[in-house]
Amino acid sequence: MKTSKFKLLVFLSVLGFSSFAQNLDEIIAKHIEAIGGKQNWEKLKAMRTESTMKAQGADIKFISVSVDKKATRQDIFVMGMNGYNIINNSEGWNFAPWQGQTKPEAMTADDVKNAQTDLYIQDEFITYKELGKSIDYFGMDDIDGTECHKIKMTDKNGKETTFYIDPATYYVIKRTSKTEANGQVNENSIFFSDYKKTDFGLVIPMSSSGGWSETGITKVEINPVIDESIFKVSK
Amino acid sequence: MKNILISLFVLSTFSFFAQNAVNSAMFGTMQTRQLGPGTMSGRITAIQGVNNDDGKTLYIGTGGGGVWKSTNAGASYKSVFDKYCQSIGAIAIDQKNPKTVYVGTGESNMRNSVSIGNGLYKSKDGGDNWKKIGLDSTEHISRIVIDPNNSDIIYVAVPGPLWSNSKHRGIYRSSNAGDTWEKLFYIDDQTGCAELLIDPTNPSILFASMWQFRRQPFSFNSGGKGSGLYKSTDAGKTWREIKSGLPEKPFGRIAMNLAPSDPKQMVAIVESTKTGLYISSDGGETWKNQSATMNTCARPFYFSTIVIDPKDPKRVYRPAFQFAYSSDGGYSFTEASSDGGWVHSDMHALWINPSNTNVMYVGTDGGVYLSIDRGVTWQFNHGLPVGQFYHVSIDNKEPYNVYGGLQDNGSWTAPSAAPGGIGNGHWSRVGGGDGFWTVPDVDGKTLYSEYQGGNMARVDMITLKQEGIQPQKTAKDEKLRWNWNTPIVTGANNPKNLYVGAQYLYKSTDQGRNWKRISDDLTTNDKNKQKQEDSGGLSEDNTSAENHCTIFTIAESSLDENLIWAGTDDGNLQVTTDAGKTWTNVSANVAKCGVASQAWVSSIQPSVFDKQTVYVTFENHMYGDMHTYLAKSTDLGKTWKRINHKDFTGFAHKIKEDLVNPNLLFLGTEMGLFATLDGGENWFRMKNNIPEYLMTRDIQIHPKTHDLIIASHGRGIFILDDIRPIRNLTNEIWDQEVYIFPTPDITLNNGKFGWGGPDVSGGWYAGNPPSIPSFDYFFKQRLNSGKVSLEIYDDKGTLLQTMPGTIRRGINKITWNLRGTPPKVAAGSLKMDGAGFTAPMVLPGVYTFKLKVKDKEYVSKVNCIHDAENKNLNLEDRKLVYEKAMQIQKLYNAVNASIDTISNYQAILKADSVAYSKKKHAIAFYDDLQKIKAELMGTKKTSIFADEKRLREKVSELYGNFCWMEAAPNATQLEAIEDLEKDYKTQALALNKVVVKHLPKNPEIKLKKEIK
């Protein structure tokens, strides 16, 4: 009798797990479809965007250039100053003159290593398996008045990112990342909106906000020709 | 006129909910400010830490404030349980996988005001997400034990319900990490498990302290035949009662523990007719009585924690009324030192870091303290805002103040806003004991406060000198019966009327100097419920907490001072229309609508719109009935309609009617804050930055600021600033895709406060209300594609600023900073220049808002008015300041244009650096340009701490001064503008000369037409 009960429990557990897994797979599939489909995203090898952040009526401009799995660079133009972040497969630099820096600062080897997964520019729900990330589903949660699917992704280093997917559109409308560095736990959230179809059929959010400011993308180039020397620090 | 407005409200919202489901998310942009404070905190019921991370990760369970997590050893805390029941009984961390955490809801410190839980929860990601995993009906959970060798085996000690018999008691076990549960040990429906221990060296050995207990509204009993100390050696399959060496039964509550480093060494405090401390050195088989101080053994039902050091079996800690420690296995105890400051009494939880046993955290009735010297001295953690308010009052000052009394933490006040926001240091204590009603007098100088049992005083707000004002028994009175939480109320119609209630209602019109008894006994006066001197069970415990047959609620109608309602703790609801000459008991009428007859009358809201109408909350939880009782009468109590809703949770504490919209009501319960926009037909749970199951004890609405002020019993005070968007949401608005709310007039100033620097008191901090009214708009649905922006124009049609807008469903808010677009800063700067982030404040006038939603445009106006209260800046001066600021902005732009010109020339000259280095004329031109540039802006110093002021920095500084100026400029400030203009003219001429001199010698630049 005990054995039968045990088998029944196991069966029910497996059944429960399967239906749960199927549900999550379905959400992810719909999300990928909504943002242009896996095939299109797999064609994405490089991207260049220009964007503007508005804060207190002032503009801060960004130019981001990324080559899939190889390198990324973001230039920031603020108050007449130009700074940047660069990460490639072996090195990384930050230059923030507004913080009083007079020259670029090299990132630590550990930071560069941990940032390698960030060089994957295809949608995170397309690459998570390849990167060995695990995902968990936590039901629905209210984001900006919309009940969203809540999905947490955890990478091999334990870094956690939570996505909130609007069931009406299957777009991600909020992404929260939690990082632990130098003994501190930091949590950052970005809200996404104004999804638009771009070249190759990729649907991306043209607007993002992080609380006190909003950043709008003004130009998107998919797979542009990129001079990879920009991923080396200026001498 | 007022009636017409009310009718309009009623008509416009009549069919509101027939078509639409309103919920809190619609008002999600309206976020409360949690005022705290963290300075006196509240009751802590459980502390657990992760063993192997240097003691940095802590989880704190509270009596009414949920679970808080620290990842920095208590320097700061974050609430991680806001969506669930806020009463916490136990926490356990799976130390093999410390991201797995269990929380048992329902505190088990069984005092009169203890709340209830709704089951056991589990997180597998360190508290980010929780799942309920059963034991829903247990109401109280005292301990969760994880088998140290097998994380799938979980034991849960369940005292069970306090107010009723229940089969949901005893010890439960899960063998699959909480997926399913079995009841492992059960005595009877009055006896639960108070403590459960596991032998870490042999997890098959368990010890259980079983406890028979019961509260009624008017008495408490700890002890009975069910209580006993039990041992199991087969992982809970069988249990054996241990008696050897213990006192004669019956027992009450037993606090006990074992030494993790030598589990045969045990200590126990056994409540009995001879309550005492007992020690065992043979694994609990036999016990020996030890002499002990009163502090060590006092109040065993409430102080149930005793802990042995993880490494030293002789070091025993007893957190109780005071903190005591023993270094000889419990033979003698020493009380902790007060060096370093007072440590709050009444302790319930202790966690010792097993990796460094010098470090420990104790949980008291007033927060968490840290010791790094084995409990000898203690330091307070200031960042836990878990105070347990009973009531909140407000005054009419600007900014207004909040006043309230807290469980075991006296009475306090704080401003609703202050320079820099509200920090712990803004809170002031105005009374001691357990605090309850704390009410300001209309004179602005006096307040009334009390401690338990009706001990009330008139307090001078400045000196805090107190005069006792409690009415005394006279020859014609019976012994006065004062509730633990005695009502002190000022009149809603005539605020000079002061009311207090024993079993009789008293009224004073001279601040409590003289009292007039204005009623006979308004209670049932049931003598069987008045035997408090026998209360406590085995340990006498009579602190006025069980006083009964008393008046609990008083409310004077805001429309008529002769119309007074009084409610009692034993089910009577009484009303007078002649200021107390005659009273009518309407409780029988209430019972007809389904309210339990003996229920406490927890709050009364005479309608502010209609004298005949009254809303009343009742609560019956002390009879085991947790239903939410809210009823309404429209005929002065003759007939009643019960108002109920499927979403209600928790017994009801407070009903509050809006001051303007008669259909807007707020209901506070033991498990949530609810609102209705249609007079009570449909309700929604409010989640506006407040826990979803907030223990909501009291609610006020400020008549001037339109703020909703919420007193919680576990999370302090919350303020939802300016609820007009909720108040004004009518059906007409709701049906529109986009609606623009009228923006109230905006007074032009830099806010009400300056800033004197960081709040050095540390700990909890709440911001101020917004200093500028926001532009509010409503979206029926979230905007899934397209942009939203707000453009602001002046009366000439000049675009002043464009701002991004939010796209959420419901109310959206954009705050315009009342300024134009800041000037551009020339490229090549070495430091941030503040001028690039600011512009002068606009002048008084009407401004146009254009909300652009995709391809549609919605237009509204706002009137910006001169701040007439600012006597330092008259309207003429304001115009002068604006004009001068714009003059400096023009100068700033010119300076930046010259810098840009120089930079462009230099860029071309150096475009080919090799060629440049060979061209003498180019180098000379470049260097001369650089000299001018070095006069126009700082070019050498990059550090924010290095002061290199050149022309642009000087202009920028003066510009900033004028942009934020709120007084007439002085002569030197005006003169400085002219001086800087002259300086610029000099440099512009110099630049011109350099260009004229060098340009002909650098022909390649002539081709660059774009350079000016």
Residues of chain A with Cβ-Cβ distance to B73 below 8 Å are: none
What is the reported pLDDT for B864? 98
Q: Report CB contact under 8 Å: A100, B943.
A: yes
Identify which of B836, B818, B729 has the alpha carbon closest to the alpha carbon of residue B772: B818
Kindly report the average pLDDT of chain B as a whole number.
Answer: 94
**Alpha-helical segments (H) within B937-970:** 951-963
How near does any CA of chain A get to the CA of B873, in Å? Answer: 25
Nearest CA in chain A to B821: A57
Q: Three-state SS for B697? A: strand
Residues of chain B with Cβ-Cβ distance to A193 below 8 Å are: 783-784, 787, 807
Residue range B852-859: mean pLDDT, rounded: 95
Identify which of B74, B189, B69, B166 has the alpha carbon closest to the alpha carbon of residue B117: B166
Mutate to test the interface with B, among A52, A56, A75, A213 (most CBs of B within 10 A): A56
What is the reported pLDDT for B273? 93
B832 pLDDT tier (thresholds 50, 70, 90):
confident
How near does any CA of chain B get to the CA of A70, in Å? Answer: 30
Q: What is the dihedral of CA A217, A223, A229, A234, to 10 degrees?
A: 0
Say what percent of chain B tops pLDDT 90: 87
What is the reported pLDDT for A13? 39
Nearest CA in chain B to A151: B129
Q: Report CB contact under 8 Å: A142, B786.
A: no
ipTM of this complex prediction, to 2 decimal places: 0.89
Q: What are phi and psi of B490, to 5 degrees?
A: -95, 155
Nearest CA in chain A to B937: A80
Q: Which tens digits make up the pLDDT trace of B681-706?
A: 999 999 999 999 999 999 999 999 99
What is the reported pLDDT for B944? 65
| Identity of the highest mean pLDDT range in B25-29, B205-209, B807-811, B916-920 | B205-209
Q: Please determine, for residue A201, whether its predicted confidence score (pLDDT) is greater than 70.
A: yes
Residue range B460-470: mean pLDDT, rounded: 97
Q: Please determine, for residue B861, whether its predicted confidence score (pLDDT) is greater than 80.
A: yes
The answer to whether B566 and B505 have CB atoms below 8 angstroms apart is yes
Residue range B485-498: mean pLDDT, rounded: 98
Mutate to test the interface with A, among B807, B821, B852 (most CBs of A within 10 A): B807
Distance CA B22, CA B664 (A): 13
What is the reported pLDDT for A88? 96
Q: In chain B, which segments carry CATH 2.130.10.10?
A: 31-380
Residues of chain A with Cβ-Cβ distance to B25 below 8 Å are: 142, 144-147
Q: Report CB contact under 8 Å: A80, B822.
A: no
Q: Please determine, for residue B942, whether its predicted confidence score (pLDDT) is greater than 80.
A: no
Distance CA A201, CA A222 (A): 10
Q: Which residues of A33-66 are buried (b: 16+ CB within 10 A; e: fewer)?
A: ebbbeeebbeebbbbbbbbebbebbbebebbbbb
How near does any CA of chain B get to the CA of A108, in Å? Answer: 23
Q: Please determine, for residue B756, whether its predicted confidence score (pLDDT) is greater than 90.
A: no
Q: Which tens digits make up the pLDDT trace of B546-574?
A: 999 999 999 999 999 999 999 999 999 99
Calculate the CA B906 to chain-centre distance: 58
Which residues are registered as beta bridge partners of B606? B614
Residue range B191-206: mean pLDDT, rounded: 98
Amino acid, single-letter form, for residue B760: V
Which residues are registered as beta bridge partners of B517? B506
Q: Which residues are CB-neighbours of A37 under 8 A, at least 6 positions away? A: A201
Q: Please determine, for residue A54, whether its predicted confidence score (pLDDT) is greater than 80.
A: yes
Residue range B108-117: mean pLDDT, rounded: 97
- Of A99, A150, A185, which has the smallest distance from its Cβ to B71's Cβ? A185
What is the reported pLDDT for A4? 40
How near does any CA of chain B get to the CA of A172, in Å? Answer: 11
Q: Which tens digits make up the pLDDT trace of B496-529?
A: 999 999 999 999 999 999 999 999 999 999 999 9
Residue range B396-425: mean pLDDT, rounded: 96
Q: Please determine, for residue B669, whether its predicted confidence score (pLDDT) is greater than 70.
A: yes
Q: Please determine, for residue A57, whether its predicted confidence score (pLDDT) is greater than 70.
A: yes
What is the reported pLDDT for A224? 96
- Of B125, B809, B943, which has the smallest distance from its Cβ to A146's Cβ? B809
Distance CA B585, CA B565 (A): 10
What is the reported pLDDT for B1006? 62
Domains along chain A with CATH numbers: 2-231 (2.50.20)
Alpha carbon of B645 to those of A231, B392, B681, B684: distances in Å?
61, 26, 8, 9
Which helix (H) or strand (E) segment holds residue B7: the answer is: helix B2-13
Residues of chain A with Cβ-Cβ distance to B806 below 8 Å are: 144, 209
- Of A57, A102, A168, which has the smallest distance from its Cβ to B822's Cβ? A57
Residues of chain A with Cβ-Cβ distance to B801 below 8 Å are: 57
Residues of chain B with Cβ-Cβ distance to A82 below 8 Å are: 827
Mutate to test the interface with B, among A194, A212, A218 (most CBs of B within 10 A): A194
Q: What's the sign of the alpha-carbon dihedral B409, B413, B415, B419?
A: negative
Taking the model in full, what pTM does it have? 0.94
- How many Å is the maximal CA-CA distance in chain B? 114
Q: What is the dihedral of CA B762, B765, B771, B773, to 10 degrees?
A: 170
How near does any CA of chain B get to the CA of A167, in Å? Answer: 11
Lowest mean pLDDT among A59-73, B370-384, B593-607, B754-768: B754-768
Extract the tokens encoding B515: 């009292």
Q: Please determine, for residue B20, whether its predicted confidence score (pLDDT) is greater than 90.
A: no
Specify the CATH class of B31-380 in words: mainly beta
- Of A58, A147, A150, which has the smallest distance from its Cβ to B836's Cβ? A58
DSSP string, B315-330: -EEEESSSEEEESSTT
Do you find a cis peptide bond into B37, omega within 30 degrees of 0? yes
